[in-house]
Structure 1
């Protein structure tokens, strides 16, 4: 895997590609960063953030790390499309960085480190990540033990959430993680029960929510506002109204109500 093939595979923005081609980093310095990343991730973050262009440096390093990780994908027999789909998140967050900070780079360096370490995979529409369940729970007559390995579900932005694509992702996850009991957990604004006051029951988000049994709610979380409006404002009247979801969510918030997150489990 080389830089050009990787950038084409994840469909990285042409301007971001040029940034990578122009980036100056000696090989010894790269290897030092790589060793620090795998030995002590937090100190690696701190070291990179000392750079004046740390967002561009994170982008350069993560692309290099991802290219190096290709060999491990091959060893494990994971198909190339899953590799590109998984690391397409780099392109997504690179574009978000441009939107939020006016420059191509990576700000979500902690999140993307999971992909680099092969702890998370995108299988169709959804991302999946083996994790340890934090409690005992009984759902639909089935007991889930504390510390049991389950599959965390993440919903990347930028694509529709069609029911068929969602179900295909769950099926792919059951096959991909054959050694793990197919119990799925998800913490997302899309699972907030009161979304039913904002969205139609037929909406893709509400159909997705119906797949889960909600076992906990955080009314104070503001992830919904971040995802719907791409920013946080102390005064909801400042939010945009560029889509029906934004209009409905803004009206809901201006009425003094909250949009939190839900914790759901799917057996």
Structure 2
């Protein structure tokens, strides 16, 4: 795997690609920072953040780390399609960086560590991340134990949540994570039980939420506002509303309601 093939595989923006090709990092420096990342990622984060072009540096390093991870994908027999799909998150967060900061780079540097360390995979529409469950819980007569390995579900931005694609992702996960009991956990604004008050039952978001049984609600979370409006404001009247979802959410918030997040489980 080389830089050109990787960038084409994740469909990285051409201007962001040019930025990467213009970087001239000697291999000794790169390997030193790579070792720092794998030995102590927090130290690595702090080191990179000292540079004025730290967002571009995070992009450069994560692309290089992802390219280096390709060999492990091959050793595990994981298909190239899954490899490229998983690392499209770099393109997504790079584009978000351009939107939010006016430059191509990576701002969500903590999140992308999961991908390069092969702890998260995108299988179709959804991402899955094995992790230890943080509590004991009984759902529909089944008991889930604390520290039992479950599959956290994450929803990358950029595409509709078509029900058929969602179901196909769960089916792919059942085959990919053989040996892990198919118990799926999702913590997201998309699981918030009061979304019925701003969305129709025919909404793909509602259909996605209905895959899960809600077991906890965080009424004070602001993730919904961040995802819907691309920012969080203390005054909801400041939100721009161009889509049906934005208009409904803005009206709901201006009426004094909250858009929190939910914790859901799918057996």
TM-score normalised by length of structure 2: 1.00
CA distance in 2, matches of 1:23, 1:235: 41
In structure 2, distance between residues paired with 1:196 and 1:248: 11
CA distance in 1, matches of 2:2, 2:147: 39
Q: How does 1:150-229 map to 2 (within 5 A)?
A: 150-229=150-229
Corresponding residue for residue 87 of structure 1? 87
Match of 1:71 in 2: 71
Backbone CA RMSD of aligned residues: 0.4
> For residues 151-186 of structure 1, what are the alpha-carbon distances to aligned partners after superposition, in whole Å with 9 as ceiling and x for unaligned?
000000000000000000000000000010000000
- How many residues are paired up? 267
Secondary structure of 1:152's partner?
strand
Matching residue of 2:110: 110
Question: Distance between the aligned counterparts of 1:16 and 1:113, measured in 2?
Answer: 20
- After superposition, the C-alpha distances for 1:66-110 in whole angstroms (9 at most, x for unaligned) are 000000000000000000000000000000000000000000000
Aligned residue in 1 for 2:264 = 264
For residues 25 and 179 of structure 1, what CA distance do their matches in structure 2 show? Answer: 41
Q: Which runs of 5+ in 2 are unaligned?
A: none
**Aligned-residue offset at 1:24:** 1.9
Which runs of structure 1 show a deviation greater than 3 angstroms over 4 or more consecutive aligned residues?
none
Find the aligned partners of 1:242 and 1:45 in 2 and give their Cα distance: 36
Secondary structure of 1:111's match? coil
What SS class does the counterpart of residue 179 from structure 1 fall into? coil
- Which segment drifts farther, 120-129 or 232-241? 232-241
Q: 1:7 Cα shift?
A: 0.2
Q: TM-score, normalised by structure 1?
A: 1.00
Matches within 5 A, 1:113-152: 113-152=113-152
Unaligned runs of 5+ in 1: none
